[in-house]
Chain A
């Protein structure tokens, strides 16, 4: 069923009786060409692009719970490509370009809203760093625009420009950045994959890998054995738990990141704004809630909930750049589990075990990467060579010294 304005009109006039479930609930078959473990945004996108761009049909996506129940439904919905390093920026720019055409591509309203992202800076040194980053972005084909304090005063008068400790000296805009309706991304990819014959199998947890002679032949699941020529793990947040079943240790720690949303307000914040002196970022959802977050809690966790010191730190960050936020009442807060990697950058790679592929280590930047992650992972699975923009996202890059460390923090996952 193709969605269109005409379709809505026709259904509206005939009592909305024509809508059907948009994906099937098939029983698992005993064998597939490709089994993708993890029915989140990245896993569903991988299945979608494998079917659509690389012509594979016999694919299953296995999901432990229900699709979209993990981080694709728990994030703060920001899209952007304001990275610096050559191993990252072309990849994220490809992702942003895919976001721009996504709704037409999969015929689903994902509410992609390019309302801009602004990174504030508070010192001369920070301005220099942002100019450098802006130039790197433009070299990779992205947009970047430096704004001085006067321009920001005109555009965003509610910011605390004359804050005694962290005065706002200007900011780096990426006007093409913005937000997306996160759940709709999972649903849109699921619908598109299902329509191309992909079996989306929910409530199906992988309990074991069938590995013999250095090759992965399939998986054991709570719904029986499934054989597959290629098994693709895509479970960021739980990568440690899943890959341990394959006997692999990863350059990843799992950490909890909290997010917050206030009561619904009239439109006050036009785009995404980030604080440059602490860690705080905020946007306003279409429903009116201010959606914001900050640092990870900083200790290993699989608990999907954090502690109060970080709540306080995030609130202080908000108050430092926009004191008006203090009048908004907090509605909800929640936590999600991040694969924090050793250099702050992700992995899309083969593993030392033949037929077993790995996608993970997205830190707290996985949502914006969803389309490119799916596309590049599909490329790797279908052709056994990395996509040109993802050649550096290797599992063995620490051994060879080719780290992609945007912040220059070293092997300290809770600082990335």
Chain B
């Protein structure tokens, strides 16, 4: 697989480390009333879709940036690559 890095252009997927579902960006509020329940779901439960999947890849052998890659789990086709930083900021995260 080739991942079109937004800054570095097309890079071999072997340069990256895979973490998992991009929902891992949305870390629950540890002060919420139901924090234990939400952290359980956050840490252990996955949608695991057959089809389009937004997921986190880390460019370990490159510029060490985190990317959000939209990839089809049925065909491995990559349709979109964003910097995870941009995704997190768009969701209102400060850092």
Interface string of A234-260 (1 = CB under 8 A from B): 000010110010000111111000000
- In the complex, what's the smallest C-beta–C-beta distance from B87 to chain A, in angstroms? 18
Residue from the list A244, A250, A253 in contact with B20, Cβ < 8 A: A253
- A298 lies within 8 A of chain B by Cβ: yes
- B32 lies within 8 A of chain A by Cβ: no
- In the complex, what's the smallest C-beta–C-beta distance from A410 to chain B, in angstroms? 9
Task: Give Cα A301–Cα B55 distance, bound, in whole angstroms.
Answer: 12
Residue from the list B45, B53, B76 in contact with A250, Cβ < 8 A: B45
Pairwise interchain contact A249-B46, C-beta atoms closer than 8 A: yes
- B63 lies within 8 A of chain A by Cβ: no
Pairwise interchain contact A300-B73, C-beta atoms closer than 8 A: yes
Interface footprint category on A: 20 to 34
Interface string of A291-324 (1 = CB under 8 A from B): 0000000111111000101000000000000000
- A398 lies within 8 A of chain B by Cβ: yes
Pairwise interchain contact B74-A414, C-beta atoms closer than 8 A: no
Pairwise interchain contact B76-A303, C-beta atoms closer than 8 A: yes
- B35 lies within 8 A of chain A by Cβ: no
Pairwise interchain contact A398-B46, C-beta atoms closer than 8 A: no
Q: Which of B40, B55, B73 has the most chain A CB atoms closer than 10 A to its own CB?
A: B73
Pairwise interchain contact A253-B44, C-beta atoms closer than 8 A: no
- A411 lies within 8 A of chain B by Cβ: yes
Task: Give Cα A300–Cα B50 distance, bound, in whole angstroms.
Answer: 9
- A2 lies within 8 A of chain B by Cβ: no
Task: Give Cα A399–Cα B42 distance, bound, in whole angstroms.
Answer: 11
Count B interface residues, CB 8 Å: 25
The secondary-structure label for the interface of chain B is mixed
Pairwise interchain contact B48-A240, C-beta atoms closer than 8 A: yes
Chain B, residue nearest A251 (CB):
B44
Task: Give Cα A302–Cα B50 distance, bound, in whole angstroms.
Answer: 6
Interface string of B48-90 (1 = CB under 8 A from A): 1110010100000000000000010111100000000000000
- In the complex, what's the smallest C-beta–C-beta distance from A63 to chain B, in angstroms? 18
Residues on A with C-beta less than 8 A from B44 are 251, 342, 398, 411
The secondary-structure label for the interface of chain A is mixed
Task: Give Cα A244–Cα B20 distance, bound, in whole angstroms.
Answer: 18
Residues on A with C-beta less than 8 A from B14 are 309
Interface string of B26-42 (1 = CB under 8 A from A): 00000000000000110
- In the complex, what's the smallest C-beta–C-beta distance from A404 to chain B, in angstroms? 13
Task: Give Cα A303–Cα B75 distance, bound, in whole angstroms.
Answer: 6
Residues on B with C-beta less than 8 A from A249 are 41, 45-48
Residues on A with C-beta less than 8 A from B45 are 249-251
Pairwise interchain contact A300-B75, C-beta atoms closer than 8 A: no
- B8 lies within 8 A of chain A by Cβ: no
Task: Give Cα A244–Cα B12 distance, bound, in whole angstroms.
Answer: 32
Residues on A with C-beta less than 8 A from B75 are 303
Task: Give Cα A261–Cα B71 distance, bound, in whole angstroms.
Answer: 29
Pairwise interchain contact B46-A250, C-beta atoms closer than 8 A: yes
With contacts A299-B55, A302-B74, A414-B18 taken as known, whether A241 is within 8 angstroms of B50 at the C-beta atoms is: yes
Task: Give Cα A413–Cα B44 distance, bound, in whole angstroms.
Answer: 10
Pairwise interchain contact B20-A309, C-beta atoms closer than 8 A: no
Pairwise interchain contact A309-B46, C-beta atoms closer than 8 A: no
Known: A254-B50, A342-B43, A414-B20. 11 other contacts (CB 8 A): A251-B46, A299-B13, A299-B55, A300-B53, A300-B73, A302-B73, A303-B74, A307-B76, A309-B12, A309-B14, A414-B18
Instruction: Give the A-binding residues of B (Cβ under 8 A).
Output: 1, 12-14, 18-21, 40-41, 43-50, 53, 55, 71, 73-76
Can you list 13 A-B pairs with a CB-CB distance of less than 8 A?
A240-B47, A240-B48, A249-B47, A250-B46, A251-B45, A299-B13, A300-B48, A302-B50, A302-B74, A307-B76, A398-B43, A412-B19, A413-B20
